[in-house]
Amino acid sequence: MIPNYSERSKAIEPFRVMALLARAKELQAQGKDVIHLQIGEPDFSTAAPIVAAGQAALAAGHTRYTATKGLLPLREAISGFYAQRYGITIGPERILITPGGSGALLLVSSLLVDPGKHWLLADPGYPCNRHFLRLVEGDSQLIPVGPQERYQLTPALIEQYWNQNSVGALVASPANPTGTLLAREELAGLSGALRRHGGHLVVDEIYHGLTYGVEAASILEVDDEAFVLNSFSKYFGMTGWRLGWLVAPVAAVPELEKLAQNLYISPPSMAQHAALACFETQTLAILEERRAEFARRRDYLLSALRTLGFAIHVEPQGAFYLYADISAFGGDSNAFCQFMLETEYVAITPGIDFGRHQADQHVRFAYTQDLPRLEQAVARIAHGLQYWKP
């Protein structure tokens, strides 16, 4: 018998990078030395002061539910972080702590999208964004973007693609998979375009802190009514702790809190107590050292891949990804990634994970390995290119 599963479940595509990760682990179990450049997870362990704070929380018995919006001291610490880093005042009452950045996306998509309505999204972009919209019976209008737009939405594209079913737009700065940023004036332009249509602007700032040679502007510097998604996973290195946050307009907070009460009750208590250490001076010093290391990795891999013939049309300013055009080598991205994994034991992500626009001719590299491993990966890829037949 064919299971009678929901149409929404069938419509959500698999996250192919996870299948690649599973196959890579199979190869490792067989004794193969796999270099992981496919997963968006920093290779650094969580910084020691954060771990110590988590251990202390467990020892103190902080294992119960917290308030649905999260611990007030943590929300106050995030508020202080916005004041220190961006020079803006965001009251803690506007901040909801969530189970990962995904929890924040679940809340805001549930709040803003009715069945049949949609957000405008850049293509390429993070795939789970459109899948969350489908989960709440909404939809996504994928807008093809390329190097000329630096893979980002623009006010002109908002005007071109907006229709009667549009209710907002989601942009990411820095973006996954391309690492490109939106400058303050570009964020202001998008805000103005959305306001003209009475639409909501949602900005993914999950990779803030991981920028190189430039600081990322927050949408909250130019639009106090925007919704902001953020996470402790990337810059703060707390991937497995599953903790994020959402900044919302004051009027939206009661509805968001109601949704959170029903969807997950409260964010993880131990992780929240640990995250209080994120904003201590000694922790931030560690995180800044790691940012400098990511910059060195980006610079090396960007040059090395271009030398091999990969076309990276826009130099990324943030995150830890390179979005590379493989047109010079022919074939499709999925086959290319499978080949490199099976023959050279280098795991990279096919562009088809990130959308439809020219997806088959792109792959994503995550520079989440140290420089010696990146050098090994480049040598293996160079060897594989000699034998790759599309």
Is residue 268 a part of any domain in this protein?
A: yes
Residue 375 CB neighbours (<10 A): 14
Question: Angle at CA 38, nearest 5°, toward 35 and 40?
Answer: 120
For position 239, which CATH number holds? 3.40.640.10
For position 373, which CATH number holds? 3.90.1150.10
In angstroms, rounded to a whole number, what is the distance separating the alpha carbons of residues 51 and 45?
Answer: 9
Tens of pLDDT, residues 217-253: 999 999 999 999 999 999 999 999 999 999 999 999 9
Tens of pLDDT, residues 288-340: 999 999 999 999 999 999 999 999 999 999 999 999 999 999 989 999 999 99
pLDDT for res 40:
86
Q: Of 280, 306, 332, at which residue does a domain stop?
A: 280
Is residue 130 a part of any domain in this protein?
A: yes
Is there a single domain that holds both residue 203 and residue 77? yes
Find all residues with CB under 8 Å of 23, minimum gap 6, and list them: 341
In angstroms, rounded to a whole number, what is the distance separating the alpha carbons of residues 66 and 126?
Answer: 30
What domain range is 300 assigned to? Answer: 7-45+283-385
Is there a single domain that holds both residue 243 and residue 361? no
Is there a single domain that holds both residue 252 and residue 292? no
Question: Tokens standing for 154?
Answer: 């623009």
| Phi and psi torsions of 313, nearest 5° | -75, -30
pTM score: 0.96
- For residue 326, give the nearest of 259, 261, 384 by alpha carbon: 384
Is there a single domain that holds both residue 172 and residue 120? yes
In angstroms, rounded to a whole number, what is the distance separating the alpha carbons of residues 365 and 116?
Answer: 35
Is there a single domain that holds both residue 64 and residue 178? yes
Residue 372: pLDDT above 80? yes
- For residue 96, give the nearest of 247, 250, 249, 265 by alpha carbon: 247
Give the residue-averaged pLDDT of 130-142: 95
What is the full DSSP assignment across 51-116?
Answer: HHHHHHHHHTT--S---TT--HHHHHHHHHHHHHHH-----GGGEEEESHHHHHHHHHHHHH--TT
Is residue 1 a part of any domain in this protein?
A: no
Is there a single domain that holds both residue 120 and residue 163? yes
Is residue 2 a part of any domain in this protein?
A: no
Is there a single domain that holds both residue 316 and residue 350? yes
Is there a single domain that holds both residue 65 and residue 203? yes
Is there a single domain that holds both residue 52 and residue 40? no
Residue 67 CB neighbours (<10 A): 15
Residue 3: pLDDT above 80? no
